[in-house]
Structure 1
C-alpha cells in the first residue's frame, strides 16, 4: 500500500530526475563490458545504501572488474552492453520501490 509520503517522494524523485538533479549509481563491469545505471535517488546517501544489493546481483551473475560511481546525471539508457554494441533499456522505477 502506497502512503501519501511514498507518493510525494515519488513525485519529488521524478521531478529531480527530469531536471537532471537525481542521484544515480553507475556500475561498470570489465567482463562483460557493460555500464549499468540504477536509480533515481533523492540523495547520494540513499544511492550508496542501495549499492550492496546491486553488487550482490552482478557478482552472482559472474560480473568481474566492477567499478562504482554515484553521481547526478540523467542517463538515456540504463544498460549499455559495450561488448555487443547494444543499448538496452530497462524501465525506470522510483528508487524506493521494493527497496524499503
Structure 2
C-alpha cells in the first residue's frame, strides 16, 4: 500500500510541477550571491519542513545572509550564481527517488 501512495504522490507532484502549481523552496544567499530552488513539493508545509535541511547544508558550506521563501513557481534553473552571472543546472536529489524534474 505504501508503494501505491508513493507512486501516486510522485505523479501528483510531477503534474503540479508541470502546471506550475507545485511548491518550491527559494533560498537567496548574499555571500555567495546565489539563488537556489529546491523542490517540487505538494504543499507549502512539506516545503517548509524540508527547507531546514537545505539551510543547514548552505550554512555548513559557508553561505551568509540566507533568506528563505516558500512559493508556488516553476523555476527554469535550480541554481543562479549572481556573482558569476551564470546559471548552473545543479543535479539535486529529488524528494522522492525516481522523480523527474522538468
Same fold (TM > 0.5)? yes
Match of 1:36 in 2: 36
Q: Is the 8 A contact 1:13 1:94 kept in 2?
A: no
Match of 2:83 in 1: 83
Q: Deviations over 1:67-99 (max 9, x none)?
A: 0000000000000000011101124654344xx
Q: What displacement does 1:60 show? A: 0.1
Match of 2:100 in 1: none
Map 1:1-100 onto structure 2 (within 5 A). 3-91=3-91, 94-97=94-97
Q: What displacement does 1:3 show? A: 1.0
Which SS does the other structure have where 2:28 is aligned? strand
Between the two proteins, the alignment pairs up a number of residues equal to: 96
| Alignment TM-score, normalising by the size of structure 1 | 0.90
Which portions of structure 1, spanning 4 or more consecutive aligned residues, are displaced by more than 6 angstroms?
Answer: none
User: Partners in 1 of 2:40 and 2:91 — Cα distance?
Assistant: 11
Query: What 5-or-longer segments of structure 1 have no aligned partner?
Result: none
Which SS does the other structure have where 1:3 is aligned? helix
